[in-house]
Each structure stands twice: as C-alpha cells, then as structure tokens.
Amino acid sequence: MAADLIIKSIGELATVASTSGVVKGDAMQNVLRIKDACIVISGEKIVEVGAEADLLPKYASSNCTVIDAQGKLVTAGLVDAHTHLVFDGNRANEFLMRCQGKTYTEIAEAGGGIVASMRATRGSTLERLVQLGQMRLQRMLEAGTTTCEVKTGYGLDIDSELRMLEAILELQKHSVMDIVPTFMPAHAVPPGENRERYVKHLIDDMLPQASRVVTASSSKTHVYVDVFCDRGYFTLADTEQIFAAAKKYGFRLKVHADEFVNLGASKLATTAGADSADHLLNISDDEIALMAKSETVAVLLPGTSFYLNLHEHARARTMIANGVAVALGSDFNPGSCHIFSLPLIWGLACLHLKLSVEEALTALTVNAAYAIGMGEKVGRLSAGYQADITMYDVGTLEEVPYNLGWNSVAQVIKKGRSVFKRS
C-alpha cells in the first residue's frame, strides 16, 4: 500500500501490545516501547508501525509527506472517556469554599453544585454553548486529546436538555475530534421538582424527544444515556427504569456509580450491559469481581478526587489485581473537576491511583476508547486503526506524568492530518 504520511525519527513509540480488544487487569502493563520508530499512514488510517530501519525503505516515496519527530515520544491520541464540557458560567466561588474546608455536598446543599451551573446554562443560547464548547475542545486538543465523550446534564428541563444535546451534536459535526454524545438529564433533580415525577417525565418525554433529535442530526456515533446514581441524586430503582427505557430507544448506557455512597450502581452496570461505570470510589469487592467478569469498563477520575480535596481515591490497584479493565477520564466540568488536561490526569493517576506509567497509557487510550464504544477505531498505534497520534516534547513515557502541570504536547495528528502544532 502507498503511504500518504510517514512519521519518522520517533525516539520512543509507546502503544498497548495487544492489537485488539479491551485490556483487563495485569495485561494493562503490556505496552510496546519501540525506539527509533516510524508510523506509516494512508488516508485516515495506520498502515504499519515499527522500526524506522525496516519501514522507511519500504514506504518512502516522493509524493509522501514526512514528519520528523526529532527523537520525541509518540503515543496514540488520548481519549477522554468522561466530560461535562458544555456549560455556561463558572463556579470559582465553590473552589474557594472548598479551600476553606467546605465539602462538595455542603456546597451543593447551600444552592451551589450542579444546580448553579443549571441556572447559568438555562440562561445561555445554543450558539453560545457551541462557541464555549469549541473553545474548550481546542484547549483539549492542544493537550493531546483526540476523542472525547461529552454529556448534557446542566439543563434539567426538556428544552434546556435538548438544547445541550443539539450543542453537542453540532460540536460533533464540526470538530476535528471524534465526539461521543451522552444525554444526561438524570444528573440532578431540578429544584422544586419531585424526584419521581421528574424521572417519569424523563422517561415519557425527554428520552423519546432526545431520540428524535439524534435521528434528525444523523449523529456520526452512537449516543449514551448516563445517570448520577448517588445519595441526593437518583436511586438505584430510578436508574434501572431509566436504563430500561433508554435501551428501547437505542441509547447505550453508562452510569456515575459509587462516587459518594454505594447504591449498587456498578453491579447494575454489569447486568444492564453498560459500557462503563464511572467514579467508583465506594465500589465493593464483590462488585469489583463482577466488573472483572463483565464487558463494563471502570472509568476512574483521579482529577475529581484531587480537585474535591478528598483523602481517598478509587481503589485502582485492587481493580487491576482482580482483572478489571480500568480507563481514565478528566470529568472536566465547572464544579467538581475543572481540569481538562489528560497529561495532568496521567500524573494524578500515577500519584494517587498508583498506576504505572504503562497502565495509565492503556487506561487513557485503548480502555478509554472501549468505555465510550470507540475501541475498534481508536486508541492503538496498530495497522487498521485511525491515525490519531499525539507527539510530545519529551523523550520517554515517564516524562509525561513527571511534568505534572506542564503541557508537553507538541503536535497532534487526527485521521492522518496534522491538526495542532505548537509554535
């Protein structure tokens, strides 16, 4: 096959060793680290990856573009499995309240939290939500993210939730990134509303309308429904009902599980066939065993436990030791984690979740892609996968988390095209 693009002089190319499937438990450590490597691309896809000495003579031709990586590190484009990046307003005041010792729950009970962002987002327009989303996506791209999931959940009434969904579908249409939308009116019960009534309205009216919006937009990907199943938000019974209805309309499932208390949502995720259960700070040992046997990916969000100033973090080591497929996400949102940088999340995963640098790479690429139903397309530097590539201004994998807080990303390739280069 003729090459359109060759990336040569890669100091270290790091990618998950297996060439297909989600990666569970100990296998997360199995990362190929090839020195003096080269990637051969045709159109939007990778043709071959390997030692430069073998591949350059085979593919180099006069009509092929060559990018010189100048001895730097290259990985698959990073995948953010969990974001709430469409919202208006900000909650800097809440950050300062937490610095003074207030908890997330205390702040939410005092009128802050999701409801504060709901007010600002309800007052926004479709155009402005799209514009804010575009600006944030650009910053994420410059930090190495090439695929991301984006949730609604700051509208919490039918018109505002559908407007958020339209904004996400609009971003999907025009962004260079692959965007996977999630409809999440079950993010909080809006103030003054009765929970049971809200859940009924969500099932009877919001889901069918959302399904029509998705069909009318000809979404490029499947769409998820997510539920915040936790104390003060939605019960396990609510989550079960919402899941059953969502499936009927063809939505795929994910759940915010066990963030503050354990209501049984991670077990439900495995029996309902959810692609992911996210947060999991309070998951039980039995549920870890169930996750390991299931197709459900555990999405851990170390940025959130850090940003909320919690002393406890998710038990990633126990999950990996028991054979769970662990992924990472930013949880980028206006309140509990205003962090979008996956290189920073990488550092926090090593520091607080005790992941090795290789496990964190697996969690930020292949497993994050499977958590959002994109694992067959992105997440690996292997033949046949989309040519989504992040290049760093450092020489080895260890230096990415080590440079905590400095964005080492130098260049980003999406579908075989250079879409960002730091000047």
Q: Considering only residues 196-225, where is the footprint of ligand NIG by CB under 6 A?
A: none
Q: Considering only residues 313-332, where is the footprint of Fe ion by CB under 5 A?
A: 331
For the four alpha carbons of 165, 166, 169 and 174, in that order, the dihedral sign comes to negative
Q: Which stretch binds ligand NIG (CB under 6 A): 6-14, 167-175, 245-253, 333-341?
A: 333-341
Instruction: Give the integer Cα–Cα distance in Å for 372 and 365.
Output: 11
Shortest Å, Cβ 213 to ligand NIG? 22
* Residue number with the smallest Cβ distance to ligand NIG: 335
* Pick 121 or 411: Cβ nearer ligand NIG: 121
Do 86 and 152 meet the contact criterion of CB atoms below 8 Å apart?
Answer: yes
* Pick 59 or 307: Cβ nearer ligand NIG: 307
Residues 6 or more apart whose Cβ sits within 8 Å of residue 398: 357
What one-character DSSP code corresponds to residue 297? E
Give all strands (DSSP E) within 173-273, no chain letters: 178-186, 224-229, 252-257
Establish if 305 lies at the interface with ligand NIG (CB under 6 A): no
Site size for Fe ion (CB under 5 A): 1
Establish if 336 lies at the interface with ligand NIG (CB under 6 A): yes
Q: CB under 5 to 8 A by kind: which of ligand NIG, Fe ion, none does 117 bind?
A: ligand NIG
* Pick 128 or 421: Cβ nearer ligand NIG: 128
* Pick 12 or 275: Cβ nearer Fe ion: 275
Shortest Å, Cβ 334 to ligand NIG? 5
Shortest Å, Cβ 108 to ligand NIG? 8
Establish if 136 lies at the interface with ligand NIG (CB under 6 A): no
* Pick 313 or 415: Cβ nearer Fe ion: 313
Closest listed residue to residue 359, CA positions, set 394, 313, 401, 331? 401
What string marks each residue from 79 to 108 as x (binds ligand NIG by CB under 6 A) or -? -----x------------------------
Tokens of 308: 């909320």
Establish if 379 lies at the interface with ligand NIG (CB under 6 A): no
Shortest Å, Cβ 4 to Fe ion? 38
Q: CB under 5 to 8 A by kind: which of ligand NIG, Fe ion, none does 113 bind?
A: ligand NIG
Rounding to the nearest 10 degrees, give the CA dihedral for residues 101, 105, 108, 109. -100
- DSSP sequence for 53-115: HHHHHHH--TTSEEEE-TT-EEEEPEEE--B-----S--HHHHHHHHTT--HHHHHHTT-THH
Closest listed residue to residue 6, CA positions, set 19, 27, 23, 49? 49
Query: What is the C-alpha R_g of the chain?
Result: 21
Shortest Å, Cβ 50 to Fe ion? 39
Establish if 259 lies at the interface with ligand NIG (CB under 6 A): yes
Instruction: Give the integer Cα–Cα distance in Å for 74 and 7.
Output: 10
* Pick 41 or 186: Cβ nearer Fe ion: 186
CB-count exposure of residue 62 (10 Å: 0-12, 13-18, 19+) = exposed
Tokens of 59: 């593919």
Instruction: Give the integer Cα–Cα distance in Å for 91 and 196.
Output: 28
Q: CB under 5 to 8 A by kind: which of ligand NIG, Fe ion, none does 370 bind?
A: none
Tokens of 222: 């499947």
What string marks each residue from 47 to 86 as x (binds ligand NIG by CB under 6 A) or -? -------------------------------------x--
Binding site for Fe ion (CB under 5 A): 331
**Which residues lie near ligand NIG (CB under 6 A)?**
84, 113-114, 117, 228, 256, 259, 304, 331, 333-336
